[in-house]
Amino acid sequence: MNAAETQAAAAAATGQPLRMTYREACRQAIRDALIADPRTFVMGEDVGKYGGCYAVTKGLLEEFGPTRIIDTPLAENAFVGAGIGAALAGLRPIVEIMTCNFSLLALDQILNNAATIPHMSGGQFAVPLVIRMATGAGRQLAAQHSHSLEGWYAHIPGLKVLAPATVDDARHMLAAALADPNPVLLFEHIVLYNAEGELDPALQSVDIEHARVRRPGRDLSLITYGNSLPKALAAAQTLAAEGIEVEVIDLRVLRPLDTPTLLESVSRTRRALIVDEGWRSGSLSAEISARMMEGAFFELDAPVQRLCGREVPIPYAAHLEEAALPQVADIVDGVRALVRPA
C-alpha cells in the first residue's frame, strides 16, 4: 500500500475528507481502473518512463509494466487509431493526448471512426474508448498548447464529453467513462492539476449525465465548467458580500448537456451569465444561451449574457494570457451589470 492508499484508507475509516491534488485524484482513478480490469491499459506520449507530461501517470509503469503503460511515438493519428482498434477488439484503452491542440492530428480517427462506427454498424460494434487530454490556458505554454477545444468535440454526435473541475469528479469520472460502451473524451484543465481539494471518502462513484449546482442562489445563474468553476465560486463569494446571491452551476458534462438543470435554475433566478474559456463565436456558450432562449424565454428578466475568452490565439506573455481569459473580476462585473443594470 502506497502513501496515497494509506491516507485514503485512514480517511475512509474516520469518515473525514481527504485533501489531495487534482493530479493525484486522476492518478488514483487510473490506477484503480488498471487494478479492476486486466483489459484496461494506458497509452500515449511520455506516459511511461517520463510519468506523463503533467505527471499524472508517474509511477504506474513501475507498478504495471510496459504492456499496460505504453509509451507511443509522437503520432496522435496512429495511437488513437490503435486505441480504437483495441476497443473494438474488447480491450478498455485509456488514451492520453498531451494537449487538446494535438488531438486535431487525430480528428479523423475520433470523428470518422470512434464516433461513427457504432452508428454505421447498426450497433453491432461498440467503441469503449476513453481519451484523456489536457485543455485550457494559464500556464504560459503559448498558442499551440493552450486552447480550449472541448466545445468543438461537444458538437459531435456519438461522443460523450466530460470536463471534471473538482477532485471528486477527477477521481470518479474515469470509472464511469470506462463503463460506457461508447467513446468518452475527458478534458482536464492544465491549471487544475496543481489545485487541491477535499475528496469525500464516502463517495464511491459519480454520474456522467448531469450538471451540478455547486452553490445555490436566487439572483442569477452562473454557468461554467473546468478552471472557470473556481473563478465563478470566488466571484460568487465576493458578490454575496454585496447581497447578490449567485447560483453556480458546474456543467461537468458538455455532451450531452443537462438542459433540464440549466432551465430549472434560470427559471428561478431569471438571469444567466455563461463563463466559457473558449472563443465566443460558435462556442459552447452560444449553444447554452440558445437553449435557454428556446426553453425559458418568458422566465428571463434580461438577455442571457456570455463571458468568453478573447478571440485570439492564446498569448505566451503572462499578462497577455491573463487578459485573454475570463477572470474573477470580469465575472463580478458581468453579474453586477445583469443584476443591477445602469
Helices of type H across 180-221: none
Query: If you ran DSSP here, which 8-state letter would residue 141 be given?
Result: -
Tell me which residue has cell 463571458.
307
Q: How far apart are CA 325 and CA 334, in angstroms?
A: 14
Q: Coil, strand, or helix at residue 201?
A: coil
- State how far Cα 17 lies from the chain centre: 22
Q: How far apart are CA 284 and CA 134, in angstroms?
A: 18
Phi-psi region of 270 (alpha: psi -120 to 50; beta: other; left: phi over 0): left
Contact 273, 220 (CB under 8 A): yes
Which is the catalytic residue, given 24, 45, 96, 145? 145
145 labelled catalytic: yes
For residue 130, report the phi and psi dihedrals to the nearest 5 degrees.
-115, 125
Q: Is the dihedral of CA 48, 110, 287, 281 positive or negative?
A: positive
Which is the catalytic residue, given 24, 45, 76, 188? 76
Q: How far apart are CA 163 and CA 169, in angstroms?
A: 9
Query: Which residues are catalytic, by number?
Result: 76, 145
